[in-house]
Amino acid sequence: MSVTAARTAQNLTVDEVCAELRNSASGPTGAAHNAFLKVRDAAEYLGLSPHTLYVWRHRRQGPPSFRMGPRGRVMYRRVALDAWIREQEQADSRSNLTLSPLAVGPQYRSGRNLDA
């Protein structure tokens, strides 16, 4: 039985069923709709401009993207954006203490006389 039929069987109005389906991210169209983002939506999700994403795509930088459909619209997977963000955090020495130059002790040149 579909979600709509189940809700109608519980004597809910059509408007209530439609509102619940729209608000449900786990619905059949909700999950697919949230899984893929257009350039504008991906840019908003990352806090960047769409132009930045286009430039990065041209330079083969930034988060992974692909073309979808007959018109070849550029799309981003939300999970790929999240993974890319985590990679950026790990590559930054401010977020990753193992990369911080302050975590390394002083380095001396070989042959330097420390007793003097």
pLDDT of residue 8: 38
Q: What is the per-residue pLDDT across 8-67, written as a single tens digit (0 to 9) for each?
A: 344 555 555 455 545 554 444 555 557 999 999 999 999 999 999 999 999 999 999 999
Evaluate whether 44 touches 31 at the Cβ level (below 8 Å). no
Element (H, E) at 75: strand 73-77
pLDDT confidence tier of residue 104, bands split at 50, 70 and 90: confident
User: The domain spanning residue 35 has which CATH number?
Assistant: 1.10.1660
More confident residue, 114 or 101: 101
Distance CA 76, CA 84 (A): 11
**Count of domains for the chain:** 1
Q: How far is CA 29 from CA 10, 54, 58, 114, in A?
A: 22, 27, 31, 70
Q: Is residue 19 part of a domain?
A: yes
Q: Is residue 103 part of a domain?
A: no
Q: Domain span at residue 15?
A: 3-96
pLDDT of residue 89: 86
Structure tokens at 77: 């997977």
